Amino acid sequence: MVVKNPMASDGLLCADSLSKSFGTVPVLFSVSFSLKAGEVHALIGENGAGKSTLMKIMSGFHSPTSGRIIYDGESVTLPPNGGAEALGIVLIHQELNLAEQMTVAENIFLGREISKRGILDRQEMNSRVVRMLADVGLDISPDTRISELSIAQKQMVEIAKAMSRNARVLIMDEPTAVLTEAETRILFKQVNRLRDQGVAIMFVSHKLHEVKEISDRVTVLRDGQWIGTSPTADLDLDDMARMMVGRELSDLYPPVNEPDVDAQIALSVTGLQTKNLRNLSFDLRKGEILGFSGLVGSGRTEVFEAICGLVPMHAGSITTFGNEARFNSVAQARDAGIVYLTKDRKGKGLLLEEGMQTNLTLLALPQFARHLILDRKKEEAALTRAIRRFDIRARDPNVLAKDMSGGNQQKLLLAKVMEANPKIVIIDEPTRGIDVGTKQQIYHFIAALAAEGVSIVVISSEMPEVIGISHRVIIMREGRIAGTVSGRDINETQIVRYAAGLNEEKTHA
C-alpha cells in the first residue's frame, strides 16, 4: 500500500532528507517529499507532526538544518522571506497575506506595479486584474477593498495573485479550514484547473474527505517523521487516519448515553431577538449535549453571544435553572455559571503573547485573588491540574500560547473556561483546525462533562461532529430555528434539509 521514501529527483520541487531543529529541539527527521508538476499532493499529519515546518522549508521561509531542496532538477538554496516567489514557488498562508485596506488590484500588483514614466498605469493593471479574476471565477471589481471581501474571496485573490506571478508550485496551508462547503467547492474547481495547467500543488488539510477528493497523492507525517507516501486512490479515510495517529481510531466519538428527558432545564431561552436573530426559543437540559448546526452566517454564534452579554438583545427572556436572568457582560454570565468558548482561538480566545498560566486563569481570575491580590500558588496548582486533566502537551510550561499547536491551544481554552466551574458550557467549533487524535480527546472531554451533569451546547459546521456527539440538534437558518432533530433523526440528510430550507419547521413552538 505504501511506497518507499520517494527518490528526491522525480518531481518539480523535491525535499531530500530534510531535517530541521529549532534550537536544540528537532522537529523534522530526514523527511523527503516530491511534488510533481500537474499533481495535487496532500500533506497530512496531526498538529505538531511537522507539516508547517516542511511547508515553510519548501517555500524558503525556514532553512533546513540538513538536507537539500531540489527544484527543476537542481539543488537550490531558496531565498528567505517569500523571495522564492520570484522562482515560481508561492506559499499561501493560512492567515492570508493581503493588505486589508488596499484594493484587489493594488494587492495583486503589490511590489511589481506597472508604471508609465514613473506614473502608475492603473488602467492597464485593472484590466489585467479583471481577466485574472474572471479566470478564478471571482465576480468582483478590481477596485474592491480587501477588507470588504469574504475569506473565500480573499483566498481566490491570493490564488490569482500567485498565478499572476507565474507560480509553478503552489503550497496551500489548510485553505479550507475557514471555508464553507460551497466555498470549498469553488476553491477545488480552481485547484483542479491549475492542476490541469501543470501547476504543482501541495495541499495541507485536516479534512480527510477533502484530501481524498482533491489529491492525487498523500504523504503522511507523524512526530516529524515521514510515515508514507501513496496514491490517494489506494487509501481510504481510515487508512489515512491510522497512518497519522499510529493507532486505531475505532471510537472517534464517545458513546452517546441516553439523555434524561426529565432532567432539570438548565437554560431556557424564549423569544430571543437581536439585530440578526428573529424570535428564537429553546431549552437546554442538565447533562444534555445540544448541537447547533446550520450554515455559516445563520446566526448560531450570535445566539450565544447575545445570551452572554456580548451582543445586545432586543427582546426575549432567559432563565437559568428556573431563575430569570439577563446578562450584560461576560462576567455576569460567568457568575451565573454560563461560559462561552469562542471559535476564534487566536483573536478572542487566548492571549498569544502570554504563557499558559496567564491564559488559564484569566476568565476566572477573581477566584484566584483575595482582596485583589493574586494567589500565585493557587494559580500554579490550577495549571498543573489543567495540564493533567486536559492532557495539554507542552514541553516547557512557560511556552507562549502562540507557539503551541492548535490542538493544545484548544485544550488550554477548554481548561480556561472550565476554571470558572460552569454549569453550562457553550463551545463554538470545538475542533476547528485540530488533528484527529486531539479531536477524539475533545469529544471525550465533552461527553465526560455532560456525564457529570454539565449542560453543553456544541456549535459546529462539521456535520459528523454534531451528529456524533449530540443528544439533540437544533438547525438554524437565516437567524431563525429551522428545525430540531433528536435520536434517530440526527442524520446528515435531515440536517441539510433544514439548513437549506427544504424542511420548514411545522410545529415548533
Partner 1 sequence: MPELAQTETTARKPKLDLKMYGPAIALVILCIIGFSLNSAFLSEGNITNLLTRSAFIGIIAVGATFVITSGGIDLSVGSMAAAIAGIMIILMNALVDILGTGVLTVVVGAGCAVLLGALAGLANGLLTTKGKIEAFIVTLGTMGIFRSLVTYFADGGTLSLNFDIRGTYRPVYYDSLLGVPYPVWVFAVVAVAGWLLMNRTTFGRYCTAIGSNEHVAQYSAINVNKIKTWTYVIQGLCVALATVIYVPRLGSASSSTGVLWELEAIAAVIIGGTVLKGGYGRIGGTIFGALILTTIGNILNFTDVVSNYLNGTMQGLIIIIAVWLQRADWGKPKD
Give the binding site for partner 1 (CB under 8 A).
22-23, 25-27, 46-50, 53, 61-63, 222-224, 245-246, 310, 329-331, 333-334, 340, 342, 344, 347-354, 358, 362-363, 365-366, 368-369, 372-374, 393-396, 398-400, 403-405, 408, 416, 420, 437
443: helix, coil or strand?
helix
**Cα four-point dihedral sign 99, 100, 102, 106:** positive
C-alpha cell at 201: 500543488
Nearer to partner 1, 183 or 379 (CB): 379
Q: Which residues pair with residue 92 across a beta bridge? A: 172
Check: CB of residue 55 under 8 Å from CB of residue 43. yes
Instruction: Tell me the closest approach of the beta carbon of residue 240 to partner 1, in angstroms.
Output: 17
Q: Identify which of residues 163 and 425 has a Cβ nearer to partner 1 in the complex.
A: 425
CB of residue 507 to partner 1, shortest distance in Å: 36
Task: Specify burial of residue 165 (Cβ count, 10 A radius: 0-12, 13-18, 19+).
Answer: middle
Q: Which is nearer to partner 1, 186 or 318 (CB)?
A: 318
Torsion (CA) 353, 359, 365, 371 in degrees, nearest 10: -40
Nearer to partner 1 among residue 292 and residue 340 (C-beta): 340
**Closest CB to partner 1 among residues 233, 369:** 369
**Sole residue written with cell 520570484:** 86
Is residue 342 classed as helix, strand or coil in its secondary structure?
A: coil
Q: Which is nearer to partner 1, 209 or 402 (CB)?
A: 402
Q: How far is the CB of 348 from partner 1 (least distance, A)?
A: 4
Backbone angles phi, psi at 328, to 5 degrees: -95, -10
Smallest gap from Cβ 400 to partner 1, in A, equals 6
Phi-psi group of 329: left, alpha or beta (phi > 0 → left; psi -120 to 50 → alpha; rest → beta): beta
Report, in Å, the least distance between residue 396 CB and partner 1.
5
CB 338, min distance to partner 1, A: 11
CB nearer to partner 1: give 330 or 496: 330
| Pairwise CA distance, residues 438 & 407, whole Å | 6
Cα dihedral 422, 428, 434, 436 sign? positive
CB of 47 to partner 1, least distance (A): 8
